[in-house]
Amino acid sequence: MVATTTIDRTRSEELLGAFIEIEMHLRRVLRQRPEVSFTALIDMAARSSPIVRRFESDLKQYGDLRNAIVHVRRDNQPIAEPHPDTVEHLKRIAAMIMEPPQVSELGTIEVIRCSPHDPIGEVARSMRENFFSQVPVYDGREFVGLLTTDAITWWMGAQLKCHDGLFEDRPVSEVLPYRDASSTEAFVCRTTEIAAIIERFESTMRAGKKLEAVIVTQNGQRNESPLQIVTVYDLPQLYRMVSGESVS
């Protein structure tokens, strides 16, 4: 009877396996021939893939490491084994490139929204009780604006100058024009990649504006019911989802 043994893959073999998965996937998606270099594949993929853009520098560095492992050898063995964390990092990147995390993975919730005709006092109390800083405003099925705590504050200041007494019965529509002109919102479909959401927040900030909320709907249309609202407070979770690092 012949005993069988399990041969563990070396770390260099694991890294090469992950690298080959990425390379084959990109060649298939981009429809590129074998002679196109890995660096060129990354450059091409980064134009359309948010997750590849996010790890573009890492992938090119891993390409250099792959070349060293494959081409620089002694007695047909790699001159060095990559660190375990390096191998795991590339494997996680490979998994995200194959199946990029999407905003649908955040789940769907019952999004609190209001009508432009609702009394502002009632809506403000709901925002306070639920710890919301933004509430989408819909006139029937049509999105008409984003009510923010900042807009309410500015509106209240204006009302105190002009009127005496209570004004909490005034409609939400009167408050919307007080929203900061540099703030905006975006609509995305539920299959939008998490990396694309992060890019949206970052690019808006670089442009000197504030992205108050990303409203998720089935197809990214303004006249669809909101499934989820992503705000700047969700960014830590989004970054973790595309960090390439292990989550304990």
Residue 44, in any domain of the structure: yes
Q: Residue 247: pLDDT above 80?
A: no
Listed in sequence order, the residues at least 6 apart from 101 whose beta carbon sits closer than 8 Å to its beta carbon are 51, 193, 194, 195, 241, 242
Both 60 and 123 in a single domain?
A: no
Phi, psi at 195, each rounded to 5° = -60, -35
Residues 29 and 49 both lie in one domain: yes
The answer on 235 and 148 residing in a single domain is yes
Question: Is residue 3 over pLDDT 50?
Answer: no
Question: Which of these, 186, 238, 191, 185, lies nearest to 218 by C-alpha position?
Answer: 191
223 and 192 within one domain: yes
Alpha carbon of 216 to those of 138, 140, 195, 231: distances in Å? 14, 18, 15, 11
Tell the residue number behind the tokens 């955040």, with chain if given: 106
Instruction: Give per-residue pLDDT as tens, 142-188.
Output: 999 999 999 999 998 888 766 655 677 889 999 999 999 899 999 99
Domain annotation covers residue 5:
no
Q: Residue 247 falls within a domain, yes or no?
A: no
> Of 63, 78, 96, which one is at a domain's C-terminal end?
96
How far apart CA 91 and CA 78 sit, in angstroms, is: 19
- The pLDDT of residue 107: 83
Q: What is the pLDDT of residues 52-111, one digit of tens each?
A: 999 999 999 999 888 888 766 666 666 667 889 999 999 999 999 999 999 999 887 889
The pLDDT score that the predictor gives to residue 98 is: 95
- Residue 230 scores a pLDDT above 90: yes
Residues 19 and 73 grouped into a single domain? yes
Domain identity same for 133 and 231: yes
Does the residue 4 lie in any domain? no
- CATH number for the domain spanning 126: value is 3.10.580.10
Which of 51, 69, 96 marks a domain boundary? 96
In a domain, 248, yes or no: no
Q: Does residue 143 sit in the same domain as residue 195?
A: yes
Sign of CA dihedral 104, 46, 24, 28: positive
The answer on pLDDT for 113 being more than 80 is yes
Q: Would the pTM count as exceeding 0.85?
A: no
Q: By residue range, what is the domain housing residue 35?
A: 11-96
| Whether residue 208 is found in the same domain as residue 149 | yes
Query: Among the three residues 67, 96, 125, which one is the final residue of a domain in this structure?
Result: 96
What whole-number distance in Å separates Cα of residue 129 and Cα of residue 159? Answer: 23
What is the chain's alpha carbon radius of gyration, rounded to the nearest angstrom? 25
- Which tens digit of pLDDT belongs to each residue from 9-40? 688 889 999 999 999 999 999 999 999 999 99
- Which residues of the chain form beta strands (DSSP E)? 73-74, 77-78, 134-139, 142-148, 183-189, 210-217, 228-230
Residues 92 and 110 in one domain: no
Instruction: Note whether 165 and 72 are same-domain residues.
Output: no
199 lies in a domain? Answer: yes
Could you tell me if residue 72 is inside a domain? Answer: yes
Q: Domain count of the chain?
A: 2
pLDDT score of 10? 84
87 and 113 within one domain: no
Predicted pLDDT at 77: 67
State whether 90 and 120 are in the same domain.
Answer: no
Residue of higher predicted confidence among 20 and 7 = 20
